[in-house]
Amino acid sequence: MQKLRRLMPLAAVAVLALVAAGCGSGGGGSTGGGAGTQSTSGKTGGTVTLLDAAGSVDSLDPGYWYYQTDYEELGQTTQRWLYSWKPKDNVPTPDIAQGPPQISNGGKTLTIKIKSGIKYSPPLQNQTVKAADIKYAMERCFAAPVGNGYAFSYYSGIQGAPSAPTSKVKDISGIQAPDDNTLVLQLKQPVGILANANALGLPCTIPVPKNYAAKFDNKSQSTYGQHQVFTGPYMIEGAGSGTVSKAGYQPAKLISLVRNPSWDKSTDFKPAYFDKIIIKNGSDVTVASRQILSGTSMMSGDYAVPPPAVLKEGLTTKKDQFQISPSGGNRYFSLNTTVKPFDNLNVRRAVAAATNRNALRQTRGGPAVGTVATHFIPPLIPGFDQAGGNAGPGYDFYKNPNGDLKLAASYLKKAGYPSGKYTGPPILAVADNTPPAKQTAEALQQQLKAIGMKLNLREVPHATMYSKFCEVPKANVALCPNLGWGKDFFDAQSMIDPIFNGKNIVPSGNVNTAEANDPKFNSRISAAASITDANKRAETYGQLDKDLTGQVYYVTWLWDNEVNFTSKNVKGVQSAFNGNAWDLTFSSLK
């Protein structure tokens, strides 16, 4: 449930139609392992500089990390997870774990053996990682002082897991560490995303030694992040003293990573080629893009695409420096089923039919930024092929990517508008006020005029759009044009459940913005979560996607691409797990 990469508001990131999208293969159903086809060999040594447009990570605490930038810049580089992700894999790889979870007790007990001899960075260089450290790490994710955003979604099936944030870190009976090398999870019922280790490939499983961290966690807001110890190939410069110093981290300015002296390459699958990684925040996107493309030893940071002129020029003259891949996310607009006229299925279908998805894609930059979507689950995620792949489930209202006004009129007639045009009052829509989202919303406003639908469009800052309007049911916003969702891992549960399950409707922070709440779908979605067989899961979620797409709670119009680029002397390797942002532990200098 990662938020799609946040865009630097100062930058105009609309991109011209330039290149064919790289996500046409549709290989969503693959669950195979292996290193993939992308070469991950590289040259050891050197310093690379990553240029960010925004302010980088929100927190230093591994228990808080949830966003793409968190994973790219600190999560994958400085810490080892119970399960991690090789660049092209869509299944997790045992990292601190020795192998996949051993399932017993009818799927209700997972036993995970962990490796010996993995050491923490200074000042705990003499202490090794124990199973109890992972138990504590998972427990602290339920504590309010840490503020984790996904533990309640993915770990609530563990016996004794709290249903609300705890004021302090509390023991959870279902997470057990019978010895230093064994972690046992006792579940209330089988949980597919724990059995397949997908949800164990998240930063909540980064080991945190209780004997060291408890004093930092025992505050109203944990300060462990500022004092953390590292297990990955890199650590924040100067943090060996036990406190992150200015040399290594200055909020919204700089992160400097150096090699972790405690890291033992023989126990890790990451090559970690760079000697040093510098992350500079707050760059102007236009300037930074040019600096990267014409400079040396630099990589693009936290912005989804470079500005149109730079991209056009770059793809013409410096194509080798670009990498464009599906991000595993989508973009859609919601039709609130509790607000008229979208309580009527035929009106929703008319809107889907009238939508020119090609034109909406053009507002973000055309084919370079992604593939026109035909259903919700994006490429690379199991269930994509089962839902129809690129062609989609075959609904008539999704057939023409340029829109079909005649079909829209026929649906409106079925909905009780004899003229084939909507004749009701204006419809409240709340959109982002920065480009390119603003342009998308305005294009949709124009498109819906053609079927008589007048959008009363309110444009507000991005964060306000979510937290005051679209994700607040009592705001009664009928249509939100600028929504997007990204996977947390390669399992469709993280795409379908939050968005379509009626049980997720809450007074604020409500990501089920359409307020989809059909009891039949709710029970099917909830039941799917406990399926542990990979093929059956993909089949079930694919079928759910097909059926939910038919209900048009949302009109999905784009499967996003990630557009990354480097200086000429850098070999960038993308992380499919992390929306194809860079994997800095596999990237290298040439």
Binding site for another protein (CB under 8 A): 1-3, 9-10, 51, 54-55, 58-59, 66-67, 144, 147, 149-150, 152-153, 163-165, 167, 220-221, 250-253, 280, 282-284, 286-288, 290-291, 294-295, 460-464, 466-469, 471, 498, 504, 506-509, 511
Tell me phi and psi for residue 411, to 5 degrees. -70, -40
DSSP letter assigned to residue 158: B
Q: How far is the CB of 305 from another protein (least distance, A)?
A: 18
Q: Cβ closer to another protein: 37 or 163? A: 163
DSSP letter assigned to residue 427: E
Residue 265: which region, alpha, beta or left (left: phi > 0; alpha: psi -120 to 50)? alpha
**Residues in the chain, how many?**
590
DSSP letter assigned to residue 410: H
Q: Cβ closer to another protein: 566 or 585? A: 566
Q: How far is the CB of 486 from another protein (least distance, A)?
A: 9
Q: Cβ closer to another protein: 447 or 512? A: 512
Provide the strand spans (E) within 436-530.
455-460, 479-486
Q: Cβ closer to another protein: 280 or 312? A: 280
Q: Cβ closer to another protein: 252 or 527? A: 252
Torsion, Cα of 376, 379, 384, 385 (10° steps): 140
Q: How far is the CB of 533 from another protein (least distance, A)?
A: 26
Q: Rounded distance, CA 275 to CA 277, Å? A: 7
Q: How far is the CB of 530 from another protein (least distance, A)?
A: 20
Tokens of residue 420, six digits: 């084939």
**Cβ atoms < 10 Å from Cβ of 103:** 17
Q: Cβ closer to another protein: 11 or 195? A: 11
Provide the strand spans (E) within 114-253.
175-179, 182-186, 234-236, 249-250
Q: Rounded distance, CA 13 to CA 364, Å? A: 7
Residue 45 pairs in a beta bridge with none
Q: How far is the CB of 421 from another protein (least distance, A)?
A: 32
Q: Cβ closer to another protein: 280 or 357? A: 280
Q: How far is the CB of 291 from another protein (least distance, A)?
A: 5
Q: Rounded distance, CA 270 to CA 85, Å? A: 10
Q: How far is the CB of 199 from another protein (least distance, A)?
A: 14
Q: How far is the CB of 164 from another protein (least distance, A)?
A: 4
Q: Cβ closer to another protein: 166 or 543? A: 166
- Cβ-proximal residues to 348 (8 Å cutoff; 6+ apart), any chain: 335, 337, 342, 551, 552, 553
